Structure 1
């Protein structure tokens, strides 16, 4: 049942976003089709699978930035392959760079 999977899906993503998460790998983990995961995300979370994973990663990134980790450490811990990809995603999502975010909230 899709309602049963939703909570487990969110928990799984939160516990594993530092790993490479693909629609296919997550679907395999839950023994469902990729389209089932895709529909759960779009119907219940109002985001694509990729967008939801990205949102969770960036939210954790905000927390780690404020905990004083370097930007490179943050990007690695939340599953980005390099700082440039993290920078672009963060700036697109929040309108400011990760370093500007830290400066803004630690003044």
Structure 2
């Protein structure tokens, strides 16, 4: 079969949410996660975020996937790692152990912090800190 040059249709999941709802949720997600830093709570879930925003997890997932190319965990871990990197650079926190910084930014345990840090930064938190 020969393919014809037709305009691509929007993915089906995008038809489930209006542009207005999408834009409103994007702003609310940023407010809750970036401004209010709810990601610091290691037990904060996508379900809790959806409940907070008076929506459902499917809509939250659509916004995160389309706008940020990430699922909830990936997005939250990026925010946590960005803050951890800033804390590791900040001399005011030089006396803290890496595990303490992990706790401050919302990771439930050392292993998940190291795994996420390595995936996002490409090195361990200790290697990152040593290179500063």
What's 2:25 paired with?
5
- Decide which structure has the larger Cα Rg and report it: 2
TM-score (norm 1): 0.90
1:100 matched to 2:122? The reply is no
Which ranges of 4 or more aligned residues in structure 1 deviate by more than 2 Å? none
**How many aligned residue pairs are there?**
105
Root mean square deviation of aligned Cα: 1.2
CA distance in 2, matches of 1:91, 1:57: 13
Among 73, 76, 80, the residue aligned to 2:107: 80
TM-score (norm 2): 0.74
CA distance in 2, matches of 1:72, 1:9: 27
CA distance in 2, matches of 1:71, 1:31: 36
Unaligned runs of 5+ in 2: 1-20
